[in-house]
Amino acid sequence: MNKFFLILIGIAIIVFGSVILLYSTPFEIESTPVYDKGFTYYDIEKIQKTLANKNIFVSAPTAITDHTINQYCTFFEKGLPRTVEYCTTTAITDIHGNALGNINIGGDTNSPVLAISNIETSTLESNPDEVLAIIEAMIETLVCDCWEEEKADDDVESISAWVDLVHKFYYDSGERGIKSQIDDLGTSKITLEITPKDNSILQTLVILK
């Protein structure tokens, strides 16, 4: 059965027959096979080409080698923040050179175990085409181009429909921080988080092997 989770901090509700969870699903990264399967660091080149065709530009990856790695490649396991051994970051800009965010990929030095895109816009309605293009490129490149096939019987028939649903849930929640999790597409766990900031909105896509 397909599983679709929406998470609102402090509130548990039922959405499309799935239980809203107040914690992150545990994820083990210690086993070597997790690193050996799925996407690689070189897949950023595919994302760059895909987004360039839509006038979105992704810089060459830069390795993070100091203590700031925590700012780029932190994720949560069993409710606790975890970091990785190795992390790269890239900057995303639109056709006018305006910053949209970054894409970070991390794991060990040979293979990644997670990818994170942070997209920051002035409002949730700002740059909708660019935001969707980045999310689609990340999922279709790093997980699979199989959403419509694997989600054919689900309530979210496309990546676009999922993003729209998460946006609606954000507004229905009173514009508080939320998370939506897809854990049955390919072999990855996919989470989209929306976090309100003082003068902007941060949308964070996290893909974990």
Tell me how far apart the alpha carbons of residues 165 and 156 are, in angstroms, rounded to a whole number. Answer: 8
How far lies 183's CA from each of 52, 186, 191, in Å? 29, 8, 8
Model confidence over 167-176: pLDDT tens digits?
A: 999 999 999 9
> How do the domains of the chain map onto residue ranges?
4-208
**CA 61 centroid distance within chain:** 17
Tell me how far apart the alpha carbons of residues 100 and 205 are, in angstroms, rounded to a whole number. Answer: 13
Model confidence over 120-156: pLDDT tens digits?
A: 999 999 999 999 999 999 999 999 999 988 876 677 8
